[in-house]
């Protein structure tokens, strides 16, 4: 959530940033927020005045009674009652304005970083670098949805039987590959100083609001209406909310956390060939990394997280490229995002497998997550997160890129985790 004070102080820059996101009414949105804040301040000023006057004249009632001025005392009592009624009305109005102001701020996305370019969507993202050699596969290459049937390692039909489309069942070496990826990613995160967490996979409304998944503008979250809880779309939500409302000592920064969780997304509006097989699922596994950082060091941390995720892709022997998202493809809460995409040799296309983002103070303002400096002053922190990594498309690329007449070769780094070198 943006800070009203910042919108006031640098409205022109805020409008310029939101225009990168193709929000044409950015100025009117910001003007509306400032107007609400002006009204809130005016109400608070009037309320403070009414309460001060009420307190002052209330003290005179006892004095008047002692002096035998009963009539004057009764008049003061009546005046006090009027002031109390007025203060009640002002408090109710103030609460409504505060709620309207907060809801208005919820509708405005984060201001993109100056490096973010304007663009309509994914076709306008900037390709920053490309790494690795695309494999030259044999003539009989197959997409992963055919390979998983041939080697009987993932069963979509069983998933439909017990749940529905988009909930695959991993079997045999497919299940062991999942476990291998889980342990590999967590072990690597631990080596990088990320503390491992095992959080709940359902969260309350406050948690969803805290990290910006709620209000759910895209209808992607599964809502458990009978309990008013939500299935998590990413471990970012419970991990970051562990610190909601906290005040961190500056010397305790950075805070680096990681977790493995299943993730749940409705994927509303998805269709076509790009959702086949493992390309897009309603339930999938992912290891997430989160950092809570000092504002002066957050972009250095973002670069480190991006490099770390790239190191995983190199160890998995996967060709990949790095993109910087344009304004039109940037997530609602992010200020800057790098995407990592791996080359899927049989599909002959790039698949996004990770996003690493800096949210600056957008999440921490909602979370009331602050740090205390050496002078005991409190400031909002910066939050960052990244997929390190999401399993399905990584597995799809491994299967496709390593297939041969003999079978599917398991990347060397995973062989100690799987206990086998080939899927055959």
**Kind of pairing between the strands at 255-264 and 195-197:** parallel
Annotated binding residues for L-serine? 234, 265, 288, 385
Element (H, E) at 86: helix 70-106
Give the dihedral of Cα atoms 296, 288, 361, 24; nearest 10 deg.
Answer: 120
Distances 288 to 42, 48, 281, 324 between C-alpha atoms, Å = 44, 47, 17, 19
Report residue 288 CA to chain centroid gap. Answer: 11
Distances 42 to 35, 53, 54, 89, 97 between C-alpha atoms, Å = 11, 17, 18, 14, 11
Cis peptide before 91 (omega within 30 of 0): no
Judge whether 345 and 134 are in contact, CB under 8 Å. Answer: yes
Q: Which pair of tokens denotes residue 210?
A: 């805290």
Judge whether 183 and 413 are in contact, CB under 8 Å. Answer: no
Q: For residues 53 and 6, what is the distance between their CA atoms, to the nearest angstrom?
A: 33
Query: What is the biggest distance separating any 2 CA atoms in the chain, rounded to whole angstroms?
Result: 108
Q: For residues 212 and 328, what is the distance between their CA atoms, to the nearest angstrom?
A: 18
Judge whether 110 and 359 are in contact, CB under 8 Å. Answer: yes
Annotated binding residues for ATP? 265-267, 352-355
Give the dihedral of Cα atoms 239, 242, 243, 249; nearest 10 deg.
Answer: -90
Annotated binding residues? 234, 265-267, 288, 352-355, 385
> Phi and psi at residue 119, in whole multiples of 5°?
-175, 160
């Amino acid at each position: 959530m943006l800070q009203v004070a910042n919108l006031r102080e640098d409205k022109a820059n805020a409008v310029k940033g939101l225009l990168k996101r193709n929000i044409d009414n950015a100025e009117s949105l910001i003007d509306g927020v400032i107007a609400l804040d002006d009204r809130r301040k005016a109400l608070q000023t009037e309320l403070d005045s009414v309460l001060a006057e009420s307190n002052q004249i209330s003290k005179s009632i006892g004095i008047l009674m002692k002096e035998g001025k009963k009539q004057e005392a009764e008049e003061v009592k009546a005046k006090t009652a009027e002031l109390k009624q007025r203060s009640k009305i002002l408090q109710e109005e103030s609460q409504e304005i505060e709620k309207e102001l907060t809801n208005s701020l919820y509708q405005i996305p984060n201001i993109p970083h100056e490096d973010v370019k304007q663009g309509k969507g994914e076709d306008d993202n900037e390709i920053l670098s490309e790494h690795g050699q695309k494999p030259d596969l044999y003539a009989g290459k197959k997409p992963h949805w055919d390979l998983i049937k041939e080697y009987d390692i993932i069963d979509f039909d069983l998933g439909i039987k017990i749940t529905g489309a988009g909930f695959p069942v991993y079997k045999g070496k497919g299940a062991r590959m999942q476990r291998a990826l889980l342990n590999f990613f967590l072990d690597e995160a631990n080596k990088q100083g990320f503390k491992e967490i095992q959080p709940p996979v359902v969260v309350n409304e406050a948690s969803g609001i805290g990290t910006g998944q709620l209000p759910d503008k895209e209808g992607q979250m599964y809502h458990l209406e009978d309990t008013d809880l939500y299935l998590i779309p990413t471990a970012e939500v419970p991990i970051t909310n562990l610190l909601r409302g906290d005040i961190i000592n500056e010397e305790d920064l950075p805070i680096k956390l990681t977790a493995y969780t299943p993730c749940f997304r409705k994927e509303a509006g998805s269709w076509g060939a790009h959702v086949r097989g493992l390309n897009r699922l309603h339930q999938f596994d992912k290891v997430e990394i989160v950092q809570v950082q000092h504002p002066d060091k957050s972009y250095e941390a973002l670069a480190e997280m991006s490099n770390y995720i790239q190191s995983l892709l190199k160890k998995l022997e996967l060709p990949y490229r790095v993109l910087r998202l344009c304004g039109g493809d940037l997530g609602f809460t992010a200020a800057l995002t790098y995407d990592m995409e791996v080359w899927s040799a049989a599909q002959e296309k790039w698949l996004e497998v990770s996003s690493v983002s800096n949210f600056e103070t957008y999440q921490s303002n909602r979370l009331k997550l602050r740090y205390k400096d050496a002078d005991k002053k409190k400031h909002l922190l910066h939050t960052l997160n990244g997929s390190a990594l999401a399993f399905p498309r990584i597995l799809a690329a491994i299967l496709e890129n390593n297939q041969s007449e003999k079978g599917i070769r398991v990347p060397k780094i995973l062989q100690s985790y799987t206990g086998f070198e080939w899927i055959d």
